[in-house]
Structure 1
Amino acid sequence: DWMMASELFVRLHALTEETNRYRKDAERVTQRLGMLRLYTPEQLWRLRDARQKMEKDAKPLPPYNPTGDDFNEKLKGVDETLMLRVMQYLPKHVERVPLNTAIAGGLEAVKTMVTTTDLHQAFKGLDDKAKVATMVAFLDAEIADVKRRLEPLDFVQQQNLLMRLGKQNDATVALPRPAMLHEFGNGMMSQLDEFSAIIWPDEVRRFERTTGGKLVGIGVQIEFDPQSNIRVVAPLEGTPAQRAGIHAGDVITKVNGKAVFGMSLDQAVDNITGPPGTKVSITVEREIEEPAIEDEGKVADAGDAHKDAPKRAKKELTFEFTRTEIQIVTVKGWKRNGVKEDDWNWFIDKERGIGYVRLTQFTDSTTRDLDRAIREMKTQGLNGMILDLRFNPGGLLDQAVEVVRRFVSRQDGPVVFTGDAQGKPESVEVTRPGKASLAHVPIVVLVNENSASASEIVSGALRYYGNEGDIQAMVLGERSFGKGSVQNVYRIPTAGAGAMIKLTQQYYMLPDRTIIHRKPGAERWGVEPNLAINMLPKQTGDALTIRRNADVLKIDETGQMPTTMDENANPDDLIAKGIDVQLHTALVVLQTQSVARVAAGGAGREK
């Protein structure tokens, strides 16, 4: 069972990660599951459903929904020309992985595809064991030949290899060429590092959506409810969804007339979003309250037993939208002040002037929105600040640099170096004193194992300058993720919509020139906190739930907020109930420093 094997090897790899004993096994099984997901998604659903039923009191998965699962559509534009263009970029990888090693990895991936028995439902040629054996023997011979060569394959040799591969495939297992080349490409990239990848034509729109800090859609946040329905968490203020009357709690049943039950959230998002100006229809199911009915001839009063309780009914509504660009807000405060997504109370302790800013990722609007938050806090008196970078996956390097510049007043101090695999700096970004609007404000930076990339640059730089005594700063929480590599993205023209290649070409280094990237077998990586505070999984889960609920206001089409707050949506509970011990410790640190400054007759609030 591929599901059980995947779970087993992933857990074994996690337990022995520093030795990498089970890394190849985990990667191979994960690779097979990825193929099932693309080519035989219904079979993968069956495996997942069988695995789910093994759990005690587990609910069955929702029925399989085939919408958007046609691999032939997804692989349009994948051909030999695309593979040849990809191969021209591979020698630029930061670790200079030999081109022949990558090509051998591509051939190994095709071999894995040919020997994955569950794929026979999509590819009938895999039922013929003799033809499979012939194809495997061909692949083994080609792999051995590529590995034996001392010089990298040149362009003509690459062309000839792909030609031989295609002909042998056609004569034996007869896989669709785009499918075979798709796995060949993924196999090549797997030999480089986990962050280098081909962005295939069907993935380009999602990639641009996740990296650009904006999306084109209708402006709703969605989640699964306990019955696996796709439910609206809330419409975003000022978006088409809010203006049209989409409500929090609406269950989305159809998109453009197609049922969505059984879709993943990614599938649902892909169907709802699209190019600006295009149309999309959304059908929702909404619970409504029907008026109470009184028995005829009875005089109703407050305690009348004959008066029926209000009944709940479900009503289906369909909305027509024109997709538009939705700006993603990445700078958030302590409590929502109003319906606008950028209307926040920035103070976690107003009496002592301690602010709270959470950066969810780094997009092109992050620094602009942070500057506005700083101005608001300083006008009210700012005496310290918590910068929460937990669960921040990163984003734009220039925005991370600008955030650091708000705290450090040293002239031309290094923020981050980019360099080669040996740690030789090739470029550097530096501080600018004129931008240091928070230079004299004590700060505690929160990080955890999900703080990555740009958030590690910020936390690492602030820790460095705090240790150097330039600023009053400390990092608190858990060691960060260790994603300190630079990926450059190149567009590759194809016969269809075009593809991209994301290639690791440099490493980030902190001001002390340490590489934060976690390389295979490394013992040190990421940003180590000045004060390590761990949280239990339940504490983390509860904190995330409260924080999410507090961030979302369930406004209606008129822009009105509810008169009562959800009992699970008060961020003060994170502190009062001892749920978020990292945040609580950061607050105590700043409160103690504030009291000490007042006792010593030190400077007052920053204005």
Structure 2
Amino acid sequence: MRLIRNPWLTATTALVIGIAVGFTSQVHAENESRLPIDEVRLMSQILERIKQSYVEEVTDEELFESAIEGMLSGLDPHSDYLTPDDFKSLRESTSGEFGGLGIEIILDETGFVRVVAPIDDTPAFRAGMQSGDLITKIDETPVKGMTINDAVSLMRGKPGTDIVLTIAREGENGPLEVEITRDIIKITSVRSRMLETGYGYIRISQFQERTGPDFVNAIESLRDEANGELNGLVLDLRNNPGGVLQASVEVVDALISEGLIVYTEGRTANSDSRFTARSANPSENVNLVVLINGGSASASEIVAGAVQDHKRGLIMGTQSFGKGSVQTILPLDKDHAIKLTTARYYTPSGRSIQAQGIVPDVIVKPGKLTQQDSEPYYKEADLAGALNNDQEGGTEADSETEQTEADLAERDYQLYQALTLLKGISFFK
């Protein structure tokens, strides 16, 4: 049998093979641009060497999880790999109830864990932990070299059990040991009270899902208590480590009637966003002072920056933490996710807060006001036979106000100064 060649079939086949070869080369080039082959090969070799030669047997799962954690932690202090337990804890912390000590922490550039802020009315807060404390040991385990997840896992535990944190604190000659009893952390995000007649106080300890509506309710409650005559408001964001971005937007929205609140910019289109105020303004432009300090971070800085840029109120205290980045939770499957820094946020005027923070309009450092107990001057009322005042009222109320202010100055000097400033603003207006 004679083989008859079909020239068209041959040509067509050759053409198809040629296209396939060209396409394969193009795909290979694109893959190389996306995935560095040499580095992947090196990673594979390292994994194999570890499996063969490490002193203890290690699984592929453990190696890959460690590799993922290393990749993310090497980017910045806030990108992280979330295991199922980590993801659950994140959801709990934003909803307002979780177990632990009650501190917001980051991994410091020194390799130790630094406290951003203790959260109000938590075991860490009651034990005296402070913003800026550097945790060097958790019980007897040195912290240096740990991942942030390792540190969090060690600090978690059964409520009622004790833990000892060894910390380095600025101004102290040596390390301090702080014993803390673990507890279920239930955070009341918004608290409010009247400082004195006409002047209200709202404390936001952390930005959670309900913070915006709770803040509006607090303003309305204070106005009702003041019979509609709310002359000034202190918004206390000291040691507030941040939280839900949308909650900070809602708080600013309750303070201004129009304009940009915050915007974000990243490398991808869905990282860019702009948040603007609606026409409603529950605060009705009441005189405002916002208190911040080095423990005020992230969402707290969004609020302070917007208030400052819109000249809605005065920022008082000390320079804030300087976390101006946005983290996005990117699910990998139903049980795992990564928390990745995807954008920076900017104040309405275009300022980036990242690694800079908010500088207060009025800098007031923490302190104590010591008042003189003795009064060196005699008054008319002290003279023998002095005439009584023929008009009623005033003296007792004024005395009570003076005593209240003196107590406040002794307890919280920064808050005392904020109240004094509000009174001055109200007077001149």
Q: TM-score normalised to the size of structure 1? A: 0.44
Q: Which residue of 1 aligns with 2:187?
A: 328
Find the aligned partners of 2:121 and 2:294 in 1 and give their Cα distance: 28
Q: Which residue of 2 aligns with 1:403?
A: 251
**Would you say the 8 A contact 1:209–1:215 is kept in 2?**
yes
Do structure 1's residue 172 and structure 2's residue 17 form an aligned pair?
no
Find the aligned partners of 2:71 and 2:357 in 1 and give their Cα distance: 27
Letter in 1 for 2:410: G
Number of corresponding residues: 301
Residue 505 of structure 1 aligns to a residue whose secondary structure is: strand
**Would you say the 8 A contact 1:488–1:504 is kept in 2?**
yes
Q: Residue 488 of structure 1: CA displacement?
A: 0.3
Q: Residue 528 of structure 1: CA displacement?
A: 1.3
Find the aligned partners of 1:427 and 1:475 in 2 and give their Cα distance: 25
Of the three residues 349, 367, 370, the one matched with 2:212 is: 367
Q: Residue 580 of structure 1: CA displacement?
A: 2.6
**Would you say the 8 A contact 2:232–2:287 is kept in 1?**
yes
Deviations 1:475-516 (A, max 9, x none): 00111111111110122238xxx2221101111000001111
Do structure 1's residue 465 and structure 2's residue 310 form an aligned pair?
yes
Q: Residue 204 of structure 1: CA displacement?
A: 3.0
Cα 1:457/1:349, change in 2 over 3 Å? same
Find the aligned partners of 2:45 and 2:161 in 1 and give their Cα distance: 50
Find the aligned partners of 2:203 and 2:189 in 1 and give their Cα distance: 8
**Would you say the 8 A contact 1:574–1:580 is kept in 2?**
no
Cα 1:595/1:575, change in 2 over 3 Å? farther
Q: Which residue of 1 aligns with 2:357?
A: 526
Of the three residues 251, 254, 263, the one matched with 1:417 is: 263
**Would you say the 8 A contact 1:573–1:579 is kept in 2?**
no
Find the aligned partners of 1:368 and 1:475 in 2 and give their Cα distance: 23
Q: Residue 415 of structure 1: CA displacement?
A: 0.3
**Would you say the 8 A contact 1:575–1:583 is kept in 2?**
no
Q: Which residue of 2 aligns with 1:584?
A: 416
Q: Residue 174 of structure 1: CA displacement?
A: 4.3
Letter in 2 for 1:517: Q
Cα 1:347/1:265, change in 2 over 3 Å? farther
Deviations 1:439-463 (A, max 9, x none): 3200000011111111100010011
The structure with the larger Rg is 2
Cα 1:504/1:266, change in 2 over 3 Å? closer
Do structure 1's residue 213 and structure 2's residue 96 form an aligned pair?
yes
**Structure 1 unaligned blocks of 5 or more:** 1-148, 223-232, 237-247, 249-260, 273-281, 285-324, 334-345, 519-524, 540-571, 598-607
**Would you say the 8 A contact 2:122–2:185 is kept in 1?**
no
**Would you say the 8 A contact 2:102–2:185 is kept in 1?**
no
**Would you say the 8 A contact 1:206–1:270 is kept in 2?**
no
Find the aligned partners of 1:181 and 1:209 in 2 and give their Cα distance: 27
Q: TM-score normalised to the size of structure 2? A: 0.61
Matches within 5 A, 1:106-505: 151-153=33-35, 160-175=41-56, 176-177=58-59, 178-215=61-98, 269-272=156-159, 328-333=187-192, 346-350=193-197, 353-381=198-226, 382-410=230-258, 413-420=259-266, 426-434=272-280, 436-466=281-311, 471=312, 473-493=313-333, 498-505=335-342
Find the aligned partners of 1:531 and 1:234 in 2 and give their Cα distance: 28
**Would you say the 8 A contact 2:287–2:426 is kept in 1?**
no
**Would you say the 8 A contact 1:446–1:475 is kept in 2?**
yes
Cα 1:150/1:532, change in 2 over 3 Å? farther
**Would you say the 8 A contact 1:464–1:511 is kept in 2?**
yes
Residue 304 of structure 2 aligns to a residue whose secondary structure is: helix
Matches within 5 A, 1:540-551: none
Deviations 1:529-564 (A, max 9, x none): 11111226xx6xxxxxxxxxxxxxxxxxxxxxxxxx
- Percent identical among aligned pairs is 30
CA RMSD after TM alignment: 3.9
Find the aligned partners of 1:575 and 1:348 in 2 and give their Cα distance: 11
Cα 1:576/1:375, change in 2 over 3 Å? closer
Q: Residue 167 of structure 1: CA displacement?
A: 1.8
Q: Residue 332 of structure 1: CA displacement?
A: 1.2
Deviations 1:357-409 (A, max 9, x none): 00001101111211221111111221100000010111111111111011112
Q: Which residue of 2 aligns with 1:514?
A: 351
Letter in 1 for 2:263: F
Residue 595 of structure 1 aligns to a residue whose secondary structure is: helix
Find the aligned partners of 1:574 and 1:493 in 2 and give their Cα distance: 58
Q: Which residue of 1 aligns with 2:366?
A: 535
Cα 1:474/1:208, change in 2 over 3 Å? same
Find the aligned partners of 2:152 and 2:323 in 1 and give their Cα distance: 26
Deviations 1:149-172 (A, max 9, x none): 984525x87765554223211222
Find the aligned partners of 2:303 and 2:333 in 1 and give their Cα distance: 35
**Would you say the 8 A contact 1:489–1:502 is kept in 2?**
yes
**Would you say the 8 A contact 2:405–2:416 is kept in 1?**
no
**Would you say the 8 A contact 1:575–1:584 is kept in 2?**
no
Residue 271 of structure 1 aligns to a residue whose secondary structure is: coil
Residue 508 of structure 1 aligns to a residue whose secondary structure is: strand
